[in-house]
């Protein structure tokens, strides 16, 4: 289709945000949360893309960072994230810097970032998953990876951009399975990433960890789907696992003419799926960061 893969764009955004955070922290940082990711426009083969990021607010050990990708002067992907300064044992360290706004515009940016931080902390306290929320979903795909040195930033911790890209890849493959995708050819349909929900990383993923990912179908609209993705690490010695993160990825089906195309209808198979479908609709109605096509607004 000549489009940049959504996971590649996510990785570039996360890496750019990390560079800004490292510059401010003057030391290593880890991604703690990725929020409000919205793909406003597709990115095509041959496009020249400029990615910028800035630290909007500094807490004790954390930094609120805003990332944007531009084509010319047009913002085409936006996101916010939180990076935490850490020591060699991946324990939080004080950043040691503060942002002191001078202009009204700067005060507004800092205040908005502070509000994002407060809302995120509140949501995190209310929604830390104790069990895998994909367990009772019917349509699922799984992936298991072993963290090798080339997947890390520094030989110790996995690149956050790479893990999010793998999540997006798995969600995209689930979407392709729904349209009976047989491989790329001219005029074939595909699915594209349009948004990612708030994604909190509850613990770091280290070199040598066994990582399990599950993508489960949580909603099917007219031309879009929502996929819930869970990431866990498993201890190969005793078989225990812990949830690292969960996130909702949203995809739109695109036909060979480049326009949104309907997904095959899907109806919830159990009570849990019915509740997931209802919660997906509620997220849309209260204005979650999800781009809905004009075609789908009439569903």
Q: How far apart are CA 294 and CA 216, in angstroms?
A: 26
Asked: is 130-299 a CATH 3.30.56.10 domain? The reply is no
At 109-120, the pLDDT tens digits run: 999 999 999 888
| Positions in the chain short of pLDDT 50 | 287-299
How far is residue 193 from each of residues 12, 152, 187, 252, 273, measured CA to CA in Å? 15, 24, 19, 7, 22
pLDDT score recorded for residue 1: 55
Asked: is 1-127 a CATH 3.10.129.10 domain? The reply is yes
C-alpha of 145 from chain center: 18
Q: How far apart are CA 219 and CA 8, in angstroms?
A: 24
**pTM of this structure:** 0.89
pLDDT score recorded for residue 119: 86
Token pair recorded at residue 24: 């401010």
Residues in the chain: 299
At 58-79, the pLDDT tens digits run: 999 999 999 999 999 999 999 9
Q: Where in the chain is the domain with CATH 3.10.129.10?
A: 1-127, 130-299
How far is residue 189 from each of residues 12, 183, 184, 276, measured CA to CA in Å? 25, 9, 8, 26
pLDDT score recorded for residue 286: 53
In the beta sheet, which residues pair with residue 247?
Answer: 229
Q: Write 233-242 long-range contacts (CB < 8 A, 24+).
A: 233/203, 233/205, 233/209, 234/210, 235/210, 236/210, 241/212, 242/202, 242/203
pLDDT score recorded for residue 281: 87
Instruction: Give the residue carrying structure tokens 């503060």.
Output: 98
């Amino acid at each position: 289709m000549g489009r940049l893969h959504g996971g590649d764009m996510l990785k570039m955004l996360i890496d750019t945000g990390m560079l800004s955070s490292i510059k401010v922290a003057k030391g290593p940082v880890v991604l703690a949360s990725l929020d409000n990711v919205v793909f406003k426009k597709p990115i095509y083969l041959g496009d020249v893309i400029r990615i910028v990021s800035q630290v909007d607010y500094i807490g004790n050990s954390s930094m609120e960072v805003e990332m944007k990708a531009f084509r010319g002067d047009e913002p085409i992907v936006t996101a916010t994230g939180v990076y935490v300064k850490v020591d060699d044992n991946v324990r939080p360290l004080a950043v040691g810097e503060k942002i002191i706004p001078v202009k009204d515009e700067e005060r507004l940016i800092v205040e908005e970032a502070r509000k994002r931080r407060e809302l995120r902390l509140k949501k995190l306290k209310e929604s830390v998953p104790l069990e895998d929320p994909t367990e009772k979903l019917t349509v699922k795909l799984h992936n298991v990876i072993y963290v090798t040195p080339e997947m890390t930033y520094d030989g110790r911790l996995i690149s956050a951009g790479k893990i999010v890209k793998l999540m997006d890849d798995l969600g995209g493959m689930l979407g392709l399975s729904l349209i009976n995708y047989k491989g790329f050819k001219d005029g074939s349909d595909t699915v594209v990433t349009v948004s990612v929900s708030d994604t909190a990383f509850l613990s770091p993923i280290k070199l040598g960890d066994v990582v399990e990912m599950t993508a489960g179908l949580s909603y099917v609209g007219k031309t879009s789907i929502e996929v819930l993705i869970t990431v866990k690490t498993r201890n190969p010695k005793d078989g225990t696992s812990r949830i690292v993160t969960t996130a909702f990825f949203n995809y739109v089906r695109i036909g060979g003419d480049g326009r949104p195309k309907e997904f095959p209808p899907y109806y919830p198979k159990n009570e849990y799926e019915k509740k997931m479908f209802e919660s997906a609709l509620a997220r849309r109605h209260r204005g979650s960061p999800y781009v809905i096509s004009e075609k789908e607004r009439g569903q």
